[in-house]
């Protein structure tokens, strides 16, 4: 019963069915947004107007379609597929490799009829044929008047490596699903934060007890004032507040520490500090201008103690200045850092308060996934090595010779014709 069970698991049809189920569920997980809030699903999949006539937010939440790749049934399908690959490797691929290593002699000339290419020779001697075969790097085994030759045995290992690489990739995917997490943080410059805003995590996720300090944040611009790159200088602190790692990150160049990646993703302007004629420093917040195609921030500051008059400030970059308008909307000029605006009550721009957006991600299975793809590439290269076999039988001064190959049939036929020419 055990043998029948594992033979059924190793069957190609079973593996194809499981693979099709995984592919279908992956398509659903691609169409339906994953790891979003309940309000998002209620808005996009309402009960009154079901998608495709049946799909609504309650069905999505009930069956776990909002986090397909972390559900027990999806992980079970992956485990079944991995078990099928493992059973196929042990029950089929290893025995096939073991048979390929054996000396498979032909005892009679009738056995040559089942080969793809064969002939008999009268113009060449036995030693001449052996010499030519040896020149073509074949391994030769002889018993009196019968010979078996093969080369490219390593090509028979390729299917085993393919299965091994796929199993590694599946294990890495499962570990990443149940043990990884992704977080998003918006942090003001010079502030210290802990990882708190978790977007998604697995059942066995461990959030490390570390602190991150944003030492600085800046943006570089082109001559046309378009953004070229975002930079964040951050320090990773241990539980005692001591710096253990420091790096300046930018887009596509994250910081890595203890298996956690810190990516630069976004930025924002929070406010500004203004000094008035009395040398008092005030801090004013910025708000984002609504219905704007570009990022523009707006603030209002009072220009007299009675708060019945004020200035409007607009900013759309971090180049160190903002545009100033009076209450009638007339442009007064650009206010630059550490410079004063010459008006009735002069003001000086002391600082522009900005924040950086970081995506913090941990995937403990990523090394296994990369290793799986590496082995898959190696197996692809190995599969190009042709496994070829040649049999020779000498009978009544006639030499019968024939051969088979796993691939590159035309090249093998050319090689065979050169041997018997």
What distances in angstroms separate CA 30 from CA 44, 51, 70, 197, 370, one per listed residue? 15, 15, 14, 24, 22
Which helix or strand (DSSP H or E) is residue 314 part of?
A: strand 310-315
What number is the average pLDDT over the span 43-70?
86
Contact status, residue 157 vs residue 97, Cβ threshold 8 Å: yes
Q: Where does the pLDDT of residue 304 fall: very low under 50, low under 70, confident under 90, or very high at 90 and above?
A: low
Contact status, residue 57 vs residue 64, Cβ threshold 8 Å: no
Q: Tell me: pLDDT of 241 over 60.
A: yes
What number is the average pLDDT over the span 295-318?
79
* Structure letter (DSSP) for residue 253: B
Q: Where does the pLDDT of residue 307 fall: very low under 50, low under 70, confident under 90, or very high at 90 and above?
A: low
What number is the average pLDDT over the span 38-52?
85
Q: What is the Cα–Cα distance from 333 to 238, expressed in whole angstroms?
A: 46
What number is the average pLDDT over the span 236-242?
87
What distances in angstroms separate CA 99 from CA 104, 152, 407, one per listed residue? 9, 14, 18
Contact status, residue 146 vs residue 107, Cβ threshold 8 Å: yes
Partners of residue 275 on adjacent β-strands: 281, 348
Per-residue pLDDT, 121 = 82
Q: How many CB atoms lie within 10 A of CB 266?
A: 13
Among 41-45, 47-51, 277-281, 399-403, the least confident range: 277-281
Per-residue pLDDT, 233 = 94
Q: What is the Cα–Cα distance from 209 to 191, expressed in whole angstroms?
A: 17
Q: Tell me: pLDDT of 285 over 70.
A: yes
Contact status, residue 211 vs residue 223, Cβ threshold 8 Å: no
For residue 275, what are its two tokens?
């000094």
Identify the CATH number of the domain defined by range 103-152+386-420.
3.30.310.10
203: helix, strand or coil: coil
Q: Tell me: pLDDT of 306 over 70.
A: no
Extract the runs of DSSP E, i.e. beta strands, from 79-128. Answer: 117-121
**213 closest CA partner among 232, 198, 229:** 232
Among 35-44, 247-256, 307-316, the least confident range: 307-316
What number is the average pLDDT over the span 237-266?
90
Q: Where does the pLDDT of residue 274 fall: very low under 50, low under 70, confident under 90, or very high at 90 and above?
A: confident
Q: What is the Cα–Cα distance from 95 to 83, expressed in whole angstroms?
A: 18
**250 closest CA partner among 294, 220, 285:** 220
Q: Which residues have C-beta within 8 Å of that of residue 389, sequence separation ≥ 6?
A: 104, 148, 149, 150, 403, 404, 405
Per-residue pLDDT, 333 = 84
Q: Tell me: pLDDT of 235 over 90.
A: yes
Name the CA dihedral angle for 318, 321, 325, 327, rounded to a multiple of 10 degrees.
Answer: 70
Instruction: Choose between 404 and 347: higher pLDDT.
Output: 404
What number is the average pLDDT over the span 277-291?
82
With pLDDT > 70 as the criterion, what percentage of the chain qualifies? 98
Q: Tell me: pLDDT of 49 over 90.
A: no
With pLDDT > 90 as the criterion, what percentage of the chain qualifies? 25
Per-residue pLDDT, 308 = 65
Per-residue pLDDT, 8 = 83
Q: Which residues have C-beta within 8 Å of that of residue 183, sequence separation ≥ 6?
A: 195, 196, 197, 198, 199, 359, 360, 361
pLDDT digits (tens, 9 = 90+) for 163-222: 999 999 999 999 988 888 999 999 998 899 998 888 888 888 888 888 999 999 998 888
pLDDT digits (tens, 9 = 90+) for 115-144: 888 888 877 788 888 888 888 889 888 888
Q: Tell me: pLDDT of 112 over 90.
A: no
| Average pLDDT in the chain | 87
What are the start-end ranges of the H helices in 329-406?
Answer: 366-383
Q: Which residues have C-beta within 8 Å of that of residue 318, sequence separation ≥ 6?
A: 218, 219, 267, 269, 352, 354
Q: Where does the pLDDT of residue 1 fall: very low under 50, low under 70, confident under 90, or very high at 90 and above?
A: low
Residues in the chain: 421
The residues spanned by each domain of the chain are: 2-91, 103-152+386-420, 181-266+357-374, 269-354
Q: Tell me: pLDDT of 284 over 80.
A: yes
pLDDT digits (tens, 9 = 90+) for 145-155: 888 999 988 88
For residue 45, what are its two tokens?
């999949």
Task: Spell 60-87 as b/e; 16+ CB within 10 A means b.
Answer: beeeebbbbbbbeebbebbebbbbbbbb
């Amino acid at each position: 019963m055990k043998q029948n069970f594992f033979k059924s698991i190793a069957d190609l049809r079973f593996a194809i069915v499981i693979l099709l189920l995984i592919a279908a569920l992956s398509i659903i997980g691609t169409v339906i947004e994953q790891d979003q809030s309940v309000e998002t699903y209620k808005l996009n999949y309402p009960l009154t107007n079901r998608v495709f006539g049946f799909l609504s937010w309650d069905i999505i939440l009930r069956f776990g379609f909002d986090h397909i790749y972390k559900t027990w049934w999806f992980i079970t399908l992956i485990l079944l597929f991995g078990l099928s690959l493992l059973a196929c490797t042990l029950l089929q691929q290893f025995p096939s490799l073991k048979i390929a290593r054996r000396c498979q002699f032909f005892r009679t000339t009738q056995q040559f009829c089942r080969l793809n290419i064969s002939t008999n020779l009268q113009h060449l001697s036995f030693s001449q044929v052996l010499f030519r075969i040896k020149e073509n790097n074949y391994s030769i085994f002889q018993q009196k008047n019968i010979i078996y030759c093969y080369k490219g045995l390593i090509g028979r290992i390729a299917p085993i490596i393919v299965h091994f690489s796929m199993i590694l990739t599946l294990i890495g995917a499962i570990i990443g699903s149940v043990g990884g997490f992704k977080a998003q943080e918006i942090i003001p410059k010079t502030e210290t934060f802990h990882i708190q805003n978790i977007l998604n995590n697995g059942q066995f996720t461990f959030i490390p007890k570390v602190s991150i300090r944003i030492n600085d944040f800046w943006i570089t611009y082109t001559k046309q004032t378009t953004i070229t790159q975002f930079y964040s200088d951050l320090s990773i602190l241990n539980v005692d507040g001591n710096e253990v790692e420091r790096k300046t990150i930018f887009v596509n160049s994250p910081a890595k520490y203890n298996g956690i990646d810190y990516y630069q993703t976004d930025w924002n302007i929070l406010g500004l500090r203004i000094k008035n004629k009395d040398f008092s420093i005030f801090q004013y917040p910025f708000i984002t201008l609504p219905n704007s195609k570009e990022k523009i921030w707006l603030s209002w500051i009072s220009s007299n103690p009675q708060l019945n008059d004020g200035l409007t400030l607009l900013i759309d970059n971090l180049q160190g200045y903002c545009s100033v308008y009076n209450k009638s909307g007339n442009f007064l000029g650009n206010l630059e850092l550490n410079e004063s605006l010459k008006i009735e009550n002069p003001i000086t721009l002391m600082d522009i308060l900005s924040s950086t957006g970081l995506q913090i991600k941990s995937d403990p299975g990523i090394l296994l996934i990369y290793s799986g793809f590496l082995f898959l590439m190696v197996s692809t290269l190995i599969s190009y090595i042709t496994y070829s076999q040649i049999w020779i039988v000498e009978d009544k001064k006639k030499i019968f010779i024939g051969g088979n190959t796993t691939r590159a049939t035309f090249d093998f036929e050319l090689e065979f014709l050169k041997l018997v020419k």
